[in-house]
């Protein structure tokens, strides 16, 4: 008997879409491959699907379990035991699901010229009212600048510029014992994957990000660049990422003790900006320079390009972007880094709509990790529904194979097209000759600004 109730047509349609998503992407098989097993009662797949659908019914767990109908539902204890298990490899499940989506659905729909990127960022996993949550720590909230109780949700994702796919994450506590309110439980079996996740949560973020990156690349994820913001843009971190075989594009922060070598001398970021020659006028890209990265003399020197961009919010200020691929143009560096915004939308969606850190208030680290993976799976389901409903290329692989991607129509081409359409309409309605229309057109173009005359190729 199904454990999901379908009393209305809308719920039946949703359940049908979810079933199709689960079957198409082999959720049940992925759970088994990730060590999800139960000896009796409801299967892991049934419990997973039940929790997955909770957010779409606009009811919490208590209201859903108290609902009176003929549908068989698991008990609260069964659900909590499922979420609290330290044997289930949630990271392996999410990584395999995401890689399958990328390889079978997203990559075939993108052209070879489309730049695929990995995006790394962290966000606050708030547990402000909690006191006894395992590994609860005092962490810094970047948005408010204050310290709050919770975790740093370090997330690595993939994007082709249209769809963002979360690959793996880690709920970071604090590597400093004095910042942790609660220590790791002593009842955990050191052989389980849950114990390894707990140890990882007490790493520095610069070390944890390398663990996430290494696992994602080992799973076969293809990307050209890793994007992250200024919180991780230390030379040592950048050089460690390069050792993984992937280039870095990141925002830089003006730190007085971080130096870059330029023309044989070392400068911090502010000093480097004063040294380089800036473009005149109101150019958006102020300057570009190739520097050498190196933590100490024993490190291998790495060339990198730093692009100084005008801050659009503060006209007299600037922002700095770094790329380890010095063959990219300044405009390409800025354009590719713009894809980093996808992960901010991802965080907003999970917190505002998918009940991240709000649906369950468990105290164990395993429950928080499991529920976060479930929320990310919900996002994957919605992302694929959006892609398949709005992207015309998903009507079939044949459409993509037979048709090249359309190039953007330039402004000049668009204007000439509009002029031709106007000419046809005037001649049909007013029955003008070619000479009469040309006279009207000449008077019209004579009154145009010089900018539009240049686009239309009109002299004088």
**So where are the chain's domains?**
225-341, 411-456
Nearest to 165 by CA among 125, 244, 110: 110
Q: Within a 10 A sphere around the Cβ of 341, how many other Cβ atoms?
A: 13
Q: Within a 10 A sphere around the Cβ of 198, how many other Cβ atoms?
A: 24
Show the tokens assigned to 422.
């106007």
DSSP state of 85: -
Q: Which residue has the higher pLDDT, 455 or 257?
A: 257
Residues counted in the chain: 460
Q: What angle do CA 169, 232, 238 make, to 5 degrees?
A: 105
Please, which pLDDT band fits residue 206 given cuts at 50, 70 and 90? very high
Check the CA dihedral 179-184-186-192 and report its sign. Answer: negative
Q: Within a 10 A sphere around the Cβ of 155, how many other Cβ atoms?
A: 24
In a 3-state reduction of DSSP, which class is residue 111?
Answer: coil
Contacts of 161 (CB under 8 A, 6+ apart): 114, 115, 339, 342
Q: Within a 10 A sphere around the Cβ of 337, how many other Cβ atoms?
A: 23
The answer to whether residues 307 and 283 touch, using CB atoms and an 8 Å cutoff, is no
Q: What angle do CA 238, 244, 247 make, to 5 degrees?
A: 55
Q: Which residue has the tokens 């870095």?
A: 248
**Chain segment 212-241, per-residue pLDDT in tens:** 999 999 999 999 999 999 999 999 999 999
The answer to pTM > 0.85 is no
Lowest mean pLDDT among 186-190, 223-227, 286-290, 454-458: 454-458
What is the DSSP pairing of strand 117-126 with strand 225-228? Answer: parallel
Q: Within a 10 A sphere around the Cβ of 120, how many other Cβ atoms?
A: 25
Q: Is the pLDDT of residue 396 over 60?
A: no
pLDDT reported for residue 145: 86
CA distances from 236 to 42, 159, 271, 300 (A): 49, 25, 20, 11
Which class does domain 225-341 fall in?
alpha beta
Show the tokens assigned to 264.
């044989």
Q: What angle do CA 229, 215, 115 make, to 5 degrees?
A: 55
- Across 378-388, average pLDDT: 90
- Across 134-153, average pLDDT: 92
What is the DSSP pairing of strand 147-159 with strand 117-126? Answer: antiparallel
The answer to whether residues 118 and 160 touch, using CB atoms and an 8 Å cutoff, is no
DSSP state of 410: P
The answer to whether residues 120 and 212 touch, using CB atoms and an 8 Å cutoff, is yes
């Amino acid at each position: 008997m199904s454990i999901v109730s379908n009393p209305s047509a809308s719920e039946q349609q949703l359940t049908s879409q979810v079933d199709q998503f689960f079957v198409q992407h082999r959720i049940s098989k992925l759970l088994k491959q990730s060590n999800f097993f139960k000896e009796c009662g409801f299967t892991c797949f049934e419990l997973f699907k039940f929790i997955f659908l909770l957010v779409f019914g606009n009811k919490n767990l208590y209201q859903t379990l108290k609902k009176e109908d003929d549908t068989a539902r698991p008990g609260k204890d069964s659900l909590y035991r499922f979420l609290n298990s330290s044997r289930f490899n949630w990271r392996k499940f999410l990584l395999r699901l995401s890689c399958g989506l990328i390889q079978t659905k997203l990559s075939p729909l993108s052209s070879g010229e489309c730049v695929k990127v990995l995006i790394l960022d962290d966000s606050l996993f708030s547990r402000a009212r909690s006191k006894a949550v395992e590994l609860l720590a005092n962490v810094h909230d970047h948005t408010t600048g204050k310290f709050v109780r919770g975790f740093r949700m370090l997330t690595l994702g993939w994007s082709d510029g249209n769809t963002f796919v979360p690959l793996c994450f880690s709920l970071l506590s604090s590597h400093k014992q004095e910042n942790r309110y609660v220590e790791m439980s002593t009842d955990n079996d050191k052989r389980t994957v849950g114990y390894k996740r707990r140890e990882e949560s007490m790493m520095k973020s610069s070390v944890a990000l390398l663990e996430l990156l290494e696992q994602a690349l080992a799973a076969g994820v293809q990307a050209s660049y890793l994007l992250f913001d200024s919180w991780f843009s230390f030379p040592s971190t950048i050089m460690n990422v390069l050792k993984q075989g992937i280039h870095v594009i990141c925002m830089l922060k003006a730190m007085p003790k971080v130096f870059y070598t330029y023309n044989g001398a070392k400068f911090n970021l502010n000093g480097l900006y004063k040294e380089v020659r800036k473009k005149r006028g109101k150019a958006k890209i102020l300057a570009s320079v190739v520097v050498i990265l190196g933590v100490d003399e024993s490190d291998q020197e790495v060339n990198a390009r730093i692009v100084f961009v005008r801050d659009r919010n503060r006209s007299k200020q600037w922002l700095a972007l770094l790329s380890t691929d010095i063959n990219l143009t300044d405009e390409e560096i800025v354009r590719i880094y713009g894809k980093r915004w996808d992960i901010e939308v991802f965080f907003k969606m999970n917190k505002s709509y998918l009940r991240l850190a709000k649906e369950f208030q468990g105290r164990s680290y395993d429950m928080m990790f499991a529920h976060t993976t479930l929320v990310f799976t919900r996002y994957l389901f919605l992302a694929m529904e959006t892609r398949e409903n709005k992207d015309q290329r998903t009507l079939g692989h044949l459409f993509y194979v037979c048709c090249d991607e359309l190039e953007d129509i330039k402004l000049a081409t668009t204007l000439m097209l509009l002029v031709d359409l106007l000419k046809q309409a005037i001649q049909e309605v007013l029955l003008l000759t070619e000479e009469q229309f040309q006279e009207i057109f000449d008077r019209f173009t004579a009154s145009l600004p010089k900018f539009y005359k240049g686009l239309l190729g009109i002299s004088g």
